[in-house]
Structure 1
Amino acid sequence: MIKQLSWKVGGQQGEGIESTGEIFATALNHLGYYLYGYRHFSSRIKGGHTNNKIRVSTSFVRAIQDDLDILVAFDQETIDVNVHELHDKGIVLADEKFKPVLPDGVNVTLYAVPFTDIARELGTTLMKNMVAIGASSAILDLKVEVYRPVVEEIFGRKGAKVVENNMQAIEKGAAFIKEQVEHDRTIMKLQPADGTRRLFMIGNDALSLGLLAGGCRFMAAYPITPASEIMEFMIKQLPDFGGTVIQTEDEMAAATMAIGANYAGVRTITASAGPGLSLMMESIGLAGMTETPLVIVDTQRGGPSTGLPTKQEQSDLMAMIYGTHGEIPKVVMAPSTVEEAFYDGVEALNIAEEYQCPVIVLTDLQLSLGKQTVEPLSFERVDIRRGKLDLDASLPELDRGEYFKRYKLEEDGISPRVLPGTKNGIFHVTGVEHDETGKPSENATNRKKQMDKRLRKLNTLLEHFPTPVYKNIKDENPDVLFIGFISTRGAIEEAMERLEEEGLKVNHAHIRLVHPFPTDEILPLVEKAKQVIVVEHNATGQLASLIKMNVGHHKKIKSILKYDGTPFLPNEIFKETIQGVLVNGNI
């Protein structure tokens, strides 16, 4: 029996590759297995190679597995592109239709299965993916009935006959494989799971749920990969809570519309990716100058320009911190797990209102679209805080010509805020420098006072932010301290386990609040480590540069970088770390 399995299905985009993986994984989720899935897909609507790699385990996992046990191939390209991932005992289940061939020197087992022909006999070739699921189940000695609840959920609205046809396709796929192998032998039998049914979701859905629970009632956005699922979630859910979504003509309109709604007192968000954030930069500055709450989700992808719109990268970091012209208070958060994405959605809305500033929730494609097991979310932890917004303000009468001091010079940098239309609460709002009532002012003394007021409002954020740095500390004086952010957490922690087996002492810090930077949290960890290795998905080491700017110790900080559009595998981090130790001899 095996404790975990790595399974991948591949073919041309538009062939149902995503649904094949979804049905396979959902059924195993129902059995209580832990899952982690990642889709490689083309930026084209139809055509181009796509695959879905799913890790199945009896224990919690947060990374893609290094190798591959089973590859389901709907075309020869899938074999050519992915077969190198299979270990020596790996299996290829390929559609007999394209006459599959293994590359020279590849020593794995190939089963040519008539996916298309079996599906055609049942009425439509569209069911070839169900035949493939059945074939996979036979390899794992899984009963085909485990798929019935999933098939009924997906196809039930189309009628009982469609459900039964799909179940027959699964059964026939399983029967074909059983005829190819010894009846008393199972090739890869999974250890039974605990039977607990857990959540199985992508990061975008968890973040959206957190934003909804945190009081978001309006979203203005323009569709873009990999952020579109947030908009799709909100379109379905917000109307049930009295909210709405508007698809704007572009990202500039989305940002300014979100600012306007927040100004009116409605918790509002927008979401995009790198190109869209570039267009929003002037608006982010407007939110900073007018001290209007604004929550923006940046789901990073490969750049620059259109770049690699469907591939993994973490290259927006510096732009999100320093992209706006001028200087404004700004918060940049970085959840590292699906669970954190949920809670950070709530917290982002709270921080935006408490500190009256833009808050950027920085994710990446792997976290946004990777589907994985999630432990139950606690709505009891949801706490809505609106800061100095007085919803029932009773303001003193104003003398003729006087205005409410919306931008009053407060010691904590946070001025009083009322809703538009509040009696005696009238004030100016403008993107130019202004006095305490919002009236435009170019007075040098006023400029300095207003700038200082805005910039000191975040002085207390680090004291109140929940877990600015996730820490996995195993040794007081480690050989290596890994630092990462967002989706690299799982791969780093698996690499740590292997390095410990090699005798290295290893710690890990994952930065959850990247701006303002948690210097006091990171500095002691860096000082105690012999070497610091920063793991990130970009070509220039942006996170490493940020750490050097804030904590120093340049000589001991090294980088492991990946920017080819694919996620880190644990073994890649392990090998590069070991090689660095052997070559540099500095541990």
Structure 2
Amino acid sequence: MKDQLSWKVGGQQGEGIESTGEIFASALNRLGYYLYGYRHFSSRIKGGHTNNKIRVSTNPLNSISDDLNILVAFDQETIDVNIHELREDGIVIADAKFNPVVTEGYDARLFAVPFTEIATELGTSLMKNMVAVGATSAILGLTADSYQNVVEDIFLKKGTSVVEKNMEAIRAGAEYFRNEAGDNMPDLQLAPADGQKRMFMIGNDAIGMGAVAAGSRFMAAYPITPASEIMEYMIAKLPEFGGTVIQTEDEIAACTMAIGANYAGVRAFTASAGPGLSLMAEAIGLSGMTEQPLVIMDTQRGGPSTGLPTKQEQSDLMAMIYSTHGDIPKIVITPSTVEEAFYDTVEAFNLAEEFQCPVILVTDLALSLGKQTVEPLDFSKIEIRRGALQLGVDIPEREDKEYFKRYEVTESGVSPRVIPGMKNGIHHVTGVEHDETGKPSESPENRKNQMDKRLRKLANLPKTFKNPLFVHAEHEEADLLVIGVNSTRGTIEEAMPRLEADGVKVNHAQVRLLHPFPTDEIKPLIERAKKVVVVENNATAQLANIIKMNIGNVKIENVLKYDGNPFLPGELHQTCKELV
């Protein structure tokens, strides 16, 4: 029996490929298996090759696999494009409808199963994906009943007869494959799972859940891949808590509406990807100048321009920090797992109010849309901190009858904050430079005082942010220090034991606070390493350059990948081994 294996389903976009993977993975999740999924899909609604690769294990895992045990193909292109990943003992299960053949140059066991024909005989060809799921269950040694609850959740609203038809399709697929394989059943049965209940979700859902838990009750956004699922989650959940979502005409409106809602005292945010973030740049400056809290979720994808909207990349790092004109305080958080995305979203709202500045939470496509097992979240860890916001207090009237000092120069750089309508809290708000009461002022002395005040805010943030780095560093003197950001964490963690087995001493640091950069935390790790390797999905070594800008002339070996695909553990292991 197998403790882990990798399964992939592929076909043309619009054929139900995603739902096939979803049904397969959801059933295994409910049995207690650990899962990690990654979707490869085209940037169009229908047509173009798409696949869903799902890794299954009886132990925790945080990355996609190097290879493949089972390939389920709904067309010949799926075989041709993906067969290179198959292990020697791997198999292809393909719809007999298109007369499948093994791609020339490869040797793999092929099982032609009439997915479409069986489904049509049962009532509709649309159930061919369920037949494929059934065939897979026979290989893994699972019963059709394993899928009962999942199928009910998806189809019961259409009636019990629809549920039964889909279950019948699963049973028919399993029976056909068992008869077809006979005594030659592939040796790919899964070892039993522990049966424990765990969550199975994408990073975008964790962000949405984190926003709700943080007390956000308003989201303004414009749909864009790979951020749209955050908006969809909030549309479904916020009304239950008295909140609302507005789909705006563009990202400029979305950002300014979020600023306005925060000004009124409502925790609000927006979410987008690189192109949308470019449009928000001026509004981010408005947040910095007016010192209004603002939370933005940036889900990175391939650029520039429209670029590769459905592919993996980490090329927004510099833009997060430096795209805004003028000097403003800004916080950039980079979670590396779905679990971190949840907790860091809550923290983003707290920091935005505590420091009265824009906070950008950055993910990448693999983290935003990759679906993985998550241990139950601990809601007791959540705390709501609103900083200097004065609610439920009496603001004394000033003897000089002047406005409230909303932008008072303080030692911490954080000024008192009120919401509109509070007695004695009237003040002016403008995007031009202003004095302590908000009135426009071009006085050189005032300009310097206000600028210095704003920039003082973040002086100690790297020390107060709870976990600016994820660190796995067992060696006092390491041959390699591997540094990554966002979703590369799992791949690095899987490559490390392979390098250790080769006799390479490896330490690992994953950046979770990109700006202000945690120099004091990462510098000692760099000093303890013979060689520093920075792993990132972009062409210009953005993370490595940020490290150099903050730490100094550090000799860094760059490991870059910018073909639209995430790193694989095997390729990272081999590349790092060659660098020692």
Q: Which residue of 1 aligns with 2:105?
A: 105
What is the CA deviation profile of residues 245-296 of structure 1, one whole-angstrom value per residue up to 9, with x for unaligned ones?
A: 1110000000000000000000001000000000000000000000000000
**What TM-score do you get using the length of structure 1 for normalisation?**
0.98
1:42-85: per-residue Cα shift (whole Å, max 9, x none)? 11000000000000001001000000000000000000100000
- 2:394 is matched with 394
Task: Quote the offset at 1:511 in angstroms.
Answer: 0.5
Offset, 1:144: 1.1
Where does the alignment leave 5 or more consecutive residues of structure 2 unmatched?
none
Provide the residue aligned with 1:330 in structure 2: 330
Equivalent-residue separation in structure 2 for 1:360 and 1:55 (angstroms): 31
Task: Tell me what 2:532 maps to.
Answer: 532
C-alpha separation in 1, matches of 2:160 and 2:236: 27
Cα deviations by residue, 1:510-568 (Å, 9 ceiling, x for unpaired): 0000000000000000011000100000000000000111112432x111101111111
2:164 aligned partner, one-letter code: E
Mapped to 1, the partners of 2:28 and 2:421 lie a distance apart of 54
* Structure 1 equivalent of residue 190 of structure 2: 190
Report if the CA contact (8 A) 1:393-1:422 is conserved: no
1:521 aligns with 2:521: yes
- Per-residue Cα deviation, 1:432-488 (whole angstroms, up to 9, x for no partner): 111101111111111111000000011121222110000001211000000001000
Q: Which deviations, in whole Å up to 9, do the C-alpha atoms of 1:144-174 show, x marking residues without a partner?
A: 1101111111111111111111111111111
Counterparts of 1:460-539 in structure 2, within 5 Å, are 460-539=460-539
Q: Superposed, which structure 2 residues align to 1:313-328 within 5 Å?
A: 313-328=313-328
Query: What is the DSSP-based 3-state SS (H/G/I as helix, E as strand, rest coil) of the residue aligned with 2:280?
Result: helix
- 1:213 aligns with 213
Q: Deviations over 1:336-373 (max 9, x none)?
A: 01111110111000000000000000001100010010
Residue 105 of structure 2 aligns with an amino acid whose one-letter code is: G
Counterpart residue number, 1:17: 17
Cα deviation, residue 400, structure 1: 6.5
Note the C-alpha offset of 1:107: 1.1
- Residue 579 of structure 1 deviates from its aligned partner by 1.9
Take 2:404 and 2:228, find their aligned partners in 1: how far apart are those partners? Answer: 40
1:113-128 equivalences under 5 Å are: 113-128=113-128
Partner of 1:564: 563
Aligned residues: 580
Partner AA of 2:144 in structure 1: V
Per the TM alignment, residue 390 of structure 1 is displaced from its structure 2 partner at its CA by: 0.5
Counterpart for residue 179 of structure 2: 179
Q: Which residue in the other structure is 2:429 paired with?
A: 429
Contact 2:539/2:560, CA 8 A, preserved across alignment: yes
Amino acid at match of 1:536: E
- Is 1:380 paired with 2:380? yes
TM-superposed CA distance for 1:187, in Å, is: 2.2
1:193 offset after TM fit, Å? 0.5
Other structure's SS at 2:439 match:
coil
Instruction: Give the deviation of 1:142 after TM superposition.
Output: 1.1
TM-superposed deviation, 1:143: 0.9
Aligned residue identity for 2:548: K
Listed as ranges, the matches of 1:1-150 within 5 Å are: 1-150=1-150
Once the two structures are overlaid, the 10-residue window that deviates more, 70-79 or 103-112, is 103-112
SS of 2:478's equivalent? coil
On the 8 A contact 2:286/2:431 being kept in 1, the answer is yes
Task: Quote how far apart the aligned CAs of 1:105 are.
Answer: 2.0
Letter in 2 for 1:274: G
Report the CA distance between 1:393 and its aligned residue: 3.0
Unaligned runs of 5+ in 1: 582-587
User: Are the counterparts in 1 of residues 130 and 169 from structure 2 also a CA contact under 8 Å?
Assistant: yes
| Cα distance in 2 between the residues matched to 1:465 and 1:240 | 31
Task: Find the aligned partners of 2:164 and 2:424 in 1 and give their Cα distance.
Answer: 68
Work out whether residues 141 and 186 of structure 1, in 8 Å CA contact, stay in contact via their aligned partners in 2: no
Distance in structure 1 (CA, Å) of the matches to 2:140 and 2:462:
49
Q: Deviations over 1:301-342 (max 9, x none)?
A: 000000010111000000010010000000000010111111
Cα deviation, 1:124-154, whole Å, max 9, x if unaligned, reads 0000000000111111111111011111111
In the aligned structure 1, how far is the partner of 2:277 from the partner of 2:38? 24
Write the mapping of 1:278-427 to structure 2, written as runs, cut at 5 A.
Answer: 278-399=278-399, 402-427=402-427
Show structure 1 runs of 4+ deviating over 4 A: 183-186
